[in-house]
């Protein structure tokens, strides 16, 4: 087991292979969240992990509420330069991801995984959010 816990993972991407033009998926818009949208993104994050099939997150989520997650996300954007990306359909946030851009190391790290509302899964939305996160990392000249 990792010294950081059972779910700690490091992912690396070759950002030079990330296409420069974002993919499209119907009426889904993936974009950086505004500060006033972070509570909705945190709700999607919490609900999405709770509703994950065979969820390994049950114990982890006992320490979190959507409100405490929103506070954590907002704090990370202010203090660590994180960016929360949201997927929006018809004005409703239905997916999210968080990335921290570490200026000293030049590495972009996921603050959260990619989470999509259960009713929107398996339709390519998670891939779209991941691509937007990686494309933003590449445009800022960070390593993945």
Asked whether residue 13 is domain-assigned, the answer is no
pLDDT over threshold 90, residue 41:
yes
- pLDDT per residue as tens digits for the range 57-105: 777 778 888 999 899 899 888 888 888 999 999 999 999 998 877 777 7
Tell the burial category of 21 from Cβ atoms under 10 Å away from its Cβ (0-12, 13-18, 19+).
Answer: exposed
Tell the burial category of 111 from Cβ atoms under 10 Å away from its Cβ (0-12, 13-18, 19+).
Answer: middle
| This prediction's pTM | 0.79
The C-alpha atoms of residue 86 and residue 37 are separated, in whole angstroms, by: 9
CB atoms within 10 A of CB 65: 13
Asked whether residue 45 is domain-assigned, the answer is yes
Predicted local distance difference test score (pLDDT) of residue 14: 63
The number of distinct structural domains making up the chain is 1
Asked whether residue 32 is domain-assigned, the answer is yes
- pLDDT per residue as tens digits for the range 7-31: 444 456 666 666 666 666 678 888 9
> How long, in residues, is the chain?
144
Predicted local distance difference test score (pLDDT) of residue 5: 41
Asked whether residue 21 is domain-assigned, the answer is no
Output the CA torsion 125→5→102→124 (10° steps): -10
pLDDT over threshold 90, residue 37:
yes
Asked whether residue 41 is domain-assigned, the answer is yes
Asked whether residue 16 is domain-assigned, the answer is no
Asked whether residue 98 is domain-assigned, the answer is yes
Print the domain residue range for 54.
26-139
Asked whether residue 46 is domain-assigned, the answer is yes
Instruction: List the CATH number of the domain containing 49.
Output: 3.40.630.30
Contact 32, 85 (CB under 8 A): yes
The C-alpha atoms of residue 8 and residue 129 are separated, in whole angstroms, by: 20
């Amino acid at each position: 087991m990792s010294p950081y816990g059972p779910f700690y993972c490091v992912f690396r991407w070759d950002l030079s292979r990330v296409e420069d033009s974002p993919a499209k998926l119907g009426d889904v818009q993936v974009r950086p969240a505004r500060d006033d949208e972070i509570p909705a993104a945190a709700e999607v994050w919490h609900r999405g992990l709770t509703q994950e099939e065979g969820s390994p997150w049950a114990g982890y989520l006992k320490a979190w509420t959507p409100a405490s997650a929103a506070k954590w996300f907002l704090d990370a954007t202010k203090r660590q330069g994180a960016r929360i990306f949201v997927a929006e359909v018809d004005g409703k946030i239905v997916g999210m991801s968080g990335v921290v851009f570490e200026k000293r190391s030049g590495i972009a790290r996921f603050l959260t995984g990619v989470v999509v509302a259960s009713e929107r899964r398996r339709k390519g939305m998670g891939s779209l959010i991941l691509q937007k996160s990686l494309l933003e990392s590449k445009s800022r000249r960070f390593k993945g």
